[in-house]
Structure 1
Amino acid sequence: MWFKHLHLYRLHDAPEIDAARLEEALGEQAYRPLGGSEARRLGWCPPAGRAGTQLLHELQGQRLITALRQERLLPAKVVKEELEDRVEAIEIAEKRKVRRGEKLTLKEQVYEELLPRAFVRSQKIDLWWDTRRNLIAVNTSSRKRAEELLDLLRETLGSLKVTPLASQTLPMRAMTTWLGDPGARPADLVIGDQVELKAKGDDGVVRGRQVDLDSDEMQQLLESGRQASKLALGIEGRLSFVLHDDLAIKSIRFDDALIDEASQTDDGDDALVRLETDFLLMAQALADSIERILAWLGGEAQAGGAVPTAA
């Protein structure tokens, strides 16, 4: 249940829909088995898996919904090899060259024939909707997957106006400042041991794990003009994470004290109670942490306002 990655979005003109109506709407876009000729499918499924049938869990204004994404894995190399074999067979049998248009038609046929036999990859993606703060977060490492889920939610609700969460100070600028000037770090910010530095030119990317970010070597890299595009940070008693330059929060690890608090809650061995208990504790911790991160970055950038700059 505990999220590992977050892509964050601000919800504008939030649709007024209660839990019962939302559950019904989700049901209309519920996941259906992937057909033999379909390459991929996305639909809503119960967050509790086999332990429940609810498509929505809502507690104290915090909503949890989950999508199941399935796609058939048909490598381009497999299609290419089969196509080459068929082209060669035709050219030998008919003693002529296969034209480009014929090859395209053959390629489509090969794809359609092989697709139903391809392996299927399944992925569950959770979405957290904080109705009190008009915030939506998608638990995935991929921005593309997050946008796919928002498209599904938009189709489910009829409309959905969201924009990626943005800060007054660009994360890259702030992270570079925190690395170069310890005195500029907020009091509740904990620097970790992982970083990615980008150069303004074509000098490549420098990545470091389990390194001393206050070392002289790090200062020299910063003085050469490199900027932090990823930085491991933490909030004591809450969580640690890697902040990215697009304000994505990844590699989240919740504090042991928070996990212990969840584990000590009596759930009566009820999987649904456990899910909802963990989700509520997690949502509260994440909401508080996101507010702190935005404060570190000078607050949230207002929609329609000036675009923050890196310099």
Structure 2
Amino acid sequence: MWFRNLHLYRLHDVPDADAVVLEFFLSHQAYRPLGGSEARRLGWTAPAGRASTLLCHELQGHRLITAQRQERILPTSVVREEVDERVEAIETAEGRKLRRQEKLTLKEQVYEELLPRAFVRSQRIDLWWDTQRQLIAINTSSRKRAEEVLDLLRETLGSLKVTPLASQTLPMRAMTTWASDPASRPADLAMGDQVELKAKGDDGVIRARQVDIDSSDMHEHLVCGRQASKLALGIEGRLSFVLHDDLALKSIRFDDALVDEASQTDDGDDAVVRLETDFLLMAQALAESIERILDWLGGEAQAGGAVPKP
């Protein structure tokens, strides 16, 4: 249940849908298995898996919904090899070279024939909706996958206006300052041991793990003009994470005390109670942490307002 990666979004023009109404809407876009000729499919599934058919769990204003994504994996190399064999066979039999359009048509035929036999890859993507703060966060490392889930939610509700969460100070600017100047770091900010430094020119990217950010080597890179595009940070008693320059949080690890608190809660061996207990503790910790991160970055940038500080 504990999220590992988050893409964050601000919700505008909040849909008028309580948990009961939302459950009804979600059921109309519930996941169903891929058909034989379908390349991919996305729909809503029960967050608790087989333990419950409920599509939306809401606790103290925090909603948990889950998308199920399936796609058929058909490597282009497999299609190309089959097409080449068929092209060669036809050209040999007919004694002529196939035109480009004929090859494209043959490629489409091969793709349609091979697709039903392709391997299927499944992925569950959790979405957390904080109805009090009007914040949506999606547990995936891919921005593209997050946008797909948002598109599904938009289709489910009829409309959904969201924008990526943005801060007054650009994360890259703030991370570079924190990495180069210890005195600039907020009191409750804990520095981690991972960083990615980008140069303004074509000098490539430096990625370092298990490194002392305050070492002379790191300082030299920063003095030379490199900027921190990723930086491992932490909030004591809550979590650690890698902050990215688009305000995504990745490689999230929750504090042991928080995880222990969840594990010590008596769930009566009920999988749904366990899910909801973990989710609520996690959501509360994430909500507080996101507020702290925005404070570090000078607050949230308002839609249509001033451009974030470079």
TM-score range, shorter-chain basis?
over 0.9
State the SS of the aligned residue for 1:284. helix
The alignment status of 1:43 with 2:51, answered yes or no, reads: no
The alignment status of 1:286 with 2:300, answered yes or no, reads: no
State the SS of the aligned residue for 1:159. coil
1:37-76 matches, within 5 Å, as 37-76=37-76
State the SS of the aligned residue for 1:299. coil
For 2:215 and 2:274, locate their aligned partners in 1 and report how far apart those are by CA, in whole Å: 43
The alignment status of 1:153 with 2:153, answered yes or no, reads: yes
User: Which residue of structure 1 aligns with residue 12 of structure 2?
Assistant: 12
Deviation at 1:309, TM superposition (A): 4.0
1:226-237 matches, within 5 Å, as 226-237=226-237
For 1:309 and 1:187, locate their aligned partners in 2 and report how far apart those are by CA, in whole Å: 22
User: Which residue of structure 1 aligns with residue 95 of structure 2?
Assistant: 95
Which portions of structure 1, spanning 4 or more consecutive aligned residues, are displaced by more than 2 angstroms? none
Aligned partner letter, 1:234: G
Aligned partner letter, 1:176: T
Report Cα offsets for 1:246-285 as digits up to 9, x if no partner: 0000000000000000001010000000000000000000
User: Which residue of structure 2 aligns with residue 174 of structure 1?
Assistant: 174
1:1-311 matches, within 5 Å, as 1-310=1-310
For 1:269 and 1:87, locate their aligned partners in 2 and report how far apart those are by CA, in whole Å: 60
Aligned partner letter, 2:167: S
State the SS of the aligned residue for 2:232. strand
State the SS of the aligned residue for 1:34. coil
Aligned partner letter, 2:84: E
Aligned partner letter, 1:67: A
For 1:245 and 1:218, locate their aligned partners in 2 and report how far apart those are by CA, in whole Å: 18
Q: Which moved more, 1:16-25 or 1:128-137?
A: 16-25
Report Cα offsets for 1:67-126 as digits up to 9, x if no partner: 000000000000000000000000100100011010000000000000000000000000
For 2:66 and 2:199, locate their aligned partners in 1 and report how far apart those are by CA, in whole Å: 38
State the SS of the aligned residue for 2:137. strand
Paired positions, count: 310
State the SS of the aligned residue for 2:96. coil
Aligned partner letter, 2:141: S
Aligned partner letter, 1:181: D
For 2:79 and 2:307, locate their aligned partners in 1 and report how far apart those are by CA, in whole Å: 45
Q: Which ranges of structure 1 fall in alignment gaps of 5 or more residues?
A: none
Deviation at 1:308, TM superposition (A): 1.5
Report Cα offsets for 1:105-152 as digits up to 9, x if no partner: 000000000000000000000000000000000000000000000000
State the SS of the aligned residue for 1:132. coil
TM-score, normalised with respect to structure 2: 1.00
State the SS of the aligned residue for 1:268. coil
Aligned partner letter, 2:248: A
Deviation at 1:16, TM superposition (A): 1.3
Aligned partner letter, 1:162: V
State the SS of the aligned residue for 1:219. helix
What RMSD, in angstroms, separates the aligned Cα atoms of the two structures? Answer: 0.5
State the SS of the aligned residue for 1:222. helix
TM-score, normalised with respect to structure 1: 0.99
For 1:14 and 1:198, locate their aligned partners in 2 and report how far apart those are by CA, in whole Å: 38
For 1:118 and 1:42, locate their aligned partners in 2 and report how far apart those are by CA, in whole Å: 18
For 1:203 and 1:35, locate their aligned partners in 2 and report how far apart those are by CA, in whole Å: 48
For 1:216 and 1:97, locate their aligned partners in 2 and report how far apart those are by CA, in whole Å: 64
State the SS of the aligned residue for 1:129. strand
State the SS of the aligned residue for 2:97. coil
State the SS of the aligned residue for 1:66. strand
Aligned partner letter, 2:211: V
